[in-house]
Structure 1
Amino acid sequence: MYKNKKVLLIAPAYNEARKIEEVAKKVPYDVVDTFLVVSDGSTDDTAEAAEAEGARVLRHEKRMGVGMSIRDGYKIAREEGFDIAVVIAGNNKDDPREITRLLDPICDDDCDFVMGSRYLDGGRFGGDMPTYRVFATKYVHPFIVNLFCKRGVTESSNGYRALKVSVLEDPRVNLEQKWLKDYQLEMYILMRILMLDFKCTEVPVSKIYPPREIGNTKMTPIVGWWKMVYPIVLVGLGLRK
């Protein structure tokens, strides 16, 4: 419990045995009620490494995509009476110890949705972060989102986010659509929340890329980023709801 709110922390993970262990070690269990790792068809020891550090594990028999992993985590949040669901990277880029930064606006200011941003004052980024990602995450993605939403977000692609579970009960936020199986889901949620009457804000967080020798990101530069761009346009134009 955190400020009388039941908190679920969700980490999608695909073949992240070495990294998910480090994530789990940093989870503040005085704040987080359950740390849920969704092992998305992993063929390594991701599930076992997470369980060894106290995480609850949901296993997908085959790889279904990060969107499906997040959706299944949200389903558990709804079914088991959690008040807040937080999504964090399973590859140790985010810091679980910063989770209260995302929780406080919900608990204290009644926000519905909180986005982490490495580009706000107090945020930081580093490690083996490719230069093209700096350009894309700092300039390209926020520009496209702000073009449609007029919200002035500083970062739209950061996956470290928190929301009230009650948001998931709103029929205007429909996560059951078949096209939301991968990175599309994250951008869909962001766009629907920004374009509807939900209260949201950004908070500074860290995004530190681990050394490449212990595993590269699973997102491909072209296909992966396209999956994050076209949902912005479709939802922004009202072609998908």
Structure 2
Amino acid sequence: MINSLKVIVVLPAYNASKTLEKTYREIPFDIVDEVILVDDFSTDNTSVLATQLGIKHVIRHDVNKGYGANQKSCYHKALELGADIIIMLHPDYQYTPKLIHSMSYLIANDVYKVVLGSRILGKGALNGGMPIYKYIANRFLTAFQNILMNQKLAEYHTGYRAFSKEIFDKIDIDKNSDDFVFDNQMLAQICMVNYEIAEITCPTKYFEEASSINFARSTKYGFGVLGTSIQYFSHRTLKIKSKIFTND
């Protein structure tokens, strides 16, 4: 079933030259048809290395636009190339590409339209070296979001995600932030149109070369997540009240 569908891996990259090759070599090309790398104006040779590795679709932003803007470029290009399944994978080797088979299988067989690689299911995050303050923040934000968004996800903050092309017909990613909170806003949009989200256990690695935002950016992201959850709750509540009123 998977082989009849076009699977595209997108790599939103920024200064990923030290880890890109290791990530790329693990991509399962028995089912992956194309790889797209978007370089958000790196100061290293990420784009050059990507071309040397044989990645045909390398896009380099002429200014640093932000993580969310990077993903927008990734997804638009994947859809332009006719993707049926899009896998978003960070090229910093924090997540193993070996899970692409499993994530794609769930979508290809129409079990789910969205699959997340979760660091929190099991003990992957702490065993992989996630800083304790990030783990605590992850747990707090996830609990807050689950309550306000009426979900039961293990986490909303993973950088490993798989989507059916159908998702992009139902939501408008261009309305989302160009910054890190893009990830959360996109999941909120998906929940708003009533798609269930699957999660699979994903080991993770924290090391010097792996990309990670600093404490200040993490704090800004955290407030963005809280704001997204409150906005979702308010919108959903008003929508339900409106529906009840109409039925009366």
What's the TM-score, normalizing by structure 2? 0.85
2:21 maps to which residue? 21
Tell me how far 1:146 sits from its aligned partner: 0.7
C-alpha contact (below 8 Å) 1:183/1:224 kept by paired residues: yes
1:66 maps to which residue? 67
| Alpha-carbon distance in structure 2 between the residues aligned to 1:54 and 1:144 | 43
C-alpha contact (below 8 Å) 1:118/1:204 kept by paired residues: yes
| Alpha-carbon distance in structure 2 between the residues aligned to 1:83 and 1:74 | 11
Change (3 A) 1:224 1:49: farther
1:46 maps to which residue? 46
Q: What letter matches 1:8 in structure 2?
A: I
Tell me how far 1:164 sits from its aligned partner: 0.7
Tell me whether 1:174 sits opposite 2:169 in the alignment.
Answer: no
Indicate the structure (1 or 2) with the bigger Cα radius of gyration: 2
| Alpha-carbon distance in structure 2 between the residues aligned to 1:49 and 1:225 | 33
| Alpha-carbon distance in structure 2 between the residues aligned to 1:144 and 1:215 | 27
2:243 maps to which residue? none
What's the TM-score, normalizing by structure 1? 0.88
2:187 maps to which residue? 190
Q: What letter matches 1:217 in structure 2?
A: S
1:33 maps to which residue? 33
| Alpha-carbon distance in structure 2 between the residues aligned to 1:216 and 1:37 | 16
Q: What SS is found at the alignment partner of 1:38?
A: strand
User: Please, which of 227, 231, 234 is the counterpart of residue 230 of structure 1?
Assistant: 227
Deviations 1:143-182 (A, max 9, x none): 1221122221111111211111121112xx12122x5111
Tell me how far 1:216 sits from its aligned partner: 5.2
Q: What letter matches 1:66 in structure 2?
A: Y
Tell me whether 1:99 sits opposite 2:100 in the alignment.
Answer: yes
| Alpha-carbon distance in structure 2 between the residues aligned to 1:183 and 1:51 | 26
- What are structure 1's unaligned runs of at least 5 residues? none
Q: What SS is found at the alignment partner of 2:109?
A: helix
Change (3 A) 1:228 1:45: farther
